[in-house]
Structure 1
Amino acid sequence: MASEDQNAYVIVTGGSRGIGAATARAVARAGYNLAITYKSNSAAADEVIQAVEQEGRRATARAFDMATGNVEELFQAFDSAGLGQLHGLVNNAGITGPIKRLTEVDQAMLDDLFRINISSLMLCMKEAALRMSTARGGAGGAIVNVSSRAGQLGGAGEWIHYAASKGAVDTLTVGAAKELGGEGIRVNAVSPGLIETEIHAAAGAPERVEKMVGGVPLGRSGAAEEVAEAILWLLSGKSSYVSGANIVISGGR
């Protein structure tokens, strides 16, 4: 599928691995140029850039820490990368934090988690909206926030803190869709369930998917590519009347 504008580009935060990397590849196949962020793994980011360029698209990667970085400067750097006009933003970068019960969380952990999962995500939405808004001379576009099924299930006994941050993302998605719809910007979310990515090991539970997959009605875990296809649909004109939606990708769980 080719994009409507071969000089349009999409930003994918956290685009060097997992769902972000799968999304970057899918977006490139659809004909868009790519800008991705990554925290520290430059080799993984380079692999994604190479894959995008093999699709004949232009791409750039920028090391960026969502906990401490300046989002305005990040977008200004992408403005100067020669990728064309901004068409879409995929807010994928995020952390779960360690597995803890409510009675075990601490202020420092929450500050880091909410800065990355909520504050920086919201600032990325702001910067994207400033560029895409038809009221400001933009061509419109789409924002897709990568939330989590935990935002609806609550994350009890594992990462109630992470679930709370994703619940905020869900609310932000609905509110922004209402604010920005009249300016040509659609805002949606996806809520993945048990997906085979590195996020479980990063939280200290590499066996988590295997232990919990029995509770999935479809009887298996999901793949990052399956989430990426839903994100791509939300970025594309095929979902032109969809805004404020949250697509659950959880095998029925």
Structure 2
Amino acid sequence: MTSGDQDAYVVVTGGSRGIGAATARVAAQAGYNLALTYKSNQSAADAVIQAVEEEGRRAVAQPFDMATGNVEELFQTFDAAGLGRLHGLVNNAGITGPIKCLTEIDQAMLDDLFRINITSLMLCMKEAALRMSTARGGAGGAIVNVSSRAGQLGGAGEWIHYAASKGAVDTLTEGAAKELGGEGIRVNAVSPGLIETEIHAAAGAPERLEKMVGGVPLGRAGAAEEVAEAIVWLLSGKSSYVSGANIAISGGR
């Protein structure tokens, strides 16, 4: 039995790979239509669309640069796609930036990181809230921000800049949950730990998981699908009294 609304759709940013792609597939299995963004890999986005359609759901994928794109126009494009009403937003798109210590970072790196990980994420929340708010004629809904355990652990010696951006996401999640709860919108976050995705290689550390997995109490890295299951639960009515939560998906690390 599905838990989604077949006349509703969920936006997943960064939906062509990793946690975003897994979330789209699990959300389709739960009965949601999907609206995805991807930066440049159309073939990967097409593969996710195909997987969604194989579940009997509808989907669109929109190329979008989270650093420079117009978020308002993005949501207007999704409005016109015929997927139904907006039920949820999964803010998954993000970057780590290169592995650097505090004394090695520069302003250009920070500008890019914060535009993608904070500014665009917050603007997506705004556009979703405008559409879902019961105070504005919407039917309510759910927002899930993909944060990171780095936001609590600090990212020292690796990604202190990335960790700072995810700490901001954690604070934003808690504040928005309090602000939007009265308008029928639940806001939560998930904080993945060491997950098997392309993010490590993209940051120049393909061996990172192997080196760090010894510090995970469960003794292994996680899978993108394990994060996706938690995200879709937070989107669904099964989590109807959960808001302002930040769920660590980290094997105990």
Q: Does the alignment reach a TM-score above 0.5? A: yes
Secondary structure of the structure 2 residue equivalent to 1:218: coil
Residue equivalent to 1:32: 32
Paired letter, 1:96 = T
Q: Distance in 2 between matches of 1:5 and 1:94?
A: 27
Given that 2:4 and 2:30 are in contact with CA atoms closer than 8 Å, whether structure 1 keeps it comes out as no
- The residue aligned with 1:242 is 242
Residue aligned with 2:90, SS? strand
What is the rounded CA distance, in whole Å, between the counterparts of 1:4 and 1:111 in structure 2?
37
Q: What corresponds to 2:203 in structure 1?
A: 203
1:136 equivalent to 2:136? Answer yes
Counterpart in 1 of 2:103?
103
The unaligned stretches of length 5 or more in structure 1 are none
Query: What is the alpha-carbon root mean square deviation over aligned residues?
Result: 0.5
Letter of the structure 2 residue corresponding to residue 154 of structure 1: G
Q: Tell me how far apart the structure 1 counterparts of residues 7 and 207 of structure 2 sit (CA, whole Å).
A: 42
Which residue matches 1:127? 127
| Deviation by residue 1:65-124 (Cα, 9 ceiling, x = unmatched) | 000000000000000000000000000000000000000000000000000000000000
The residue type equivalent to 1:215 in the other structure is G
Match of 1:251 in 2: 251
Q: Which residue of 1 aligns with 2:181?
A: 181
Instruction: For 1:104 and 1:128, locate their aligned partners in 2 and report how far apart those are by CA, in whole Å.
Output: 36
Measured in 1, the distance between the counterparts of 2:223 and 2:59 equals 24
Q: 2:117: which partner in 1?
A: 117
CA distance in 2, matches of 1:223, 1:175: 29
Q: How many residues align?
A: 253
Give the counterpart letter for 2:117 in structure 1: N
- Counterpart of 2:163 in structure 1 is 163
Q: Percent identity?
A: 90
Q: Which residue of 2 aligns with 1:154?
A: 154
Equivalent residue, structure 2, for 1:55 = 55
Tell me, in whole angstroms, the C-alpha distance in 2 between the residues paired with 1:5 and 1:227.
21
Gaps of 5+ in 2: none
Task: Kindly state the Cα deviation for residue 5 of structure 1 after the two structures are TM-superposed.
Answer: 2.2
Amino acid at match of 2:115: R
User: What secondary structure sits across from 1:248 in the alignment?
Assistant: strand
CA drift of 1:2 comes to: 1.5
In the other structure, the counterpart of 1:17 is 17
Provide the residue aligned with 1:6 in structure 2. Answer: 6
- Output the CA distance in 1 between the equivalents of 2:67 and 2:90: 17
State the distance in 1 between where 2:246 and 2:90 align. Answer: 14
Which residue of the partner structure matches residue 219 of structure 1?
A: 219
What is residue 74 of structure 1 aligned with on the other side? 74
Which ranges of 4 or more aligned residues in structure 1 deviate by more than 2 Å? none
| SS in structure 2 of the partner of residue 152 of structure 1 | helix
| DSSP-derived class of the 1:88 partner | strand
C-alpha distance in 1 between matches for 2:77 and 2:106: 35
Displacement after TM superposition at 1:169 (Å): 0.0
Q: Distance in 1 between matches of 2:35 and 2:114?
A: 24
> Does structure 1 retain, via aligned residues, the 8 Å contact 2:19–2:225?
yes
- Structure 2 distance, partners of 1:24, 1:83, is 14
| TM superposition score normalised by structure 1 | 0.99
CA-CA distance at 1:4 after TM superposition = 4.7
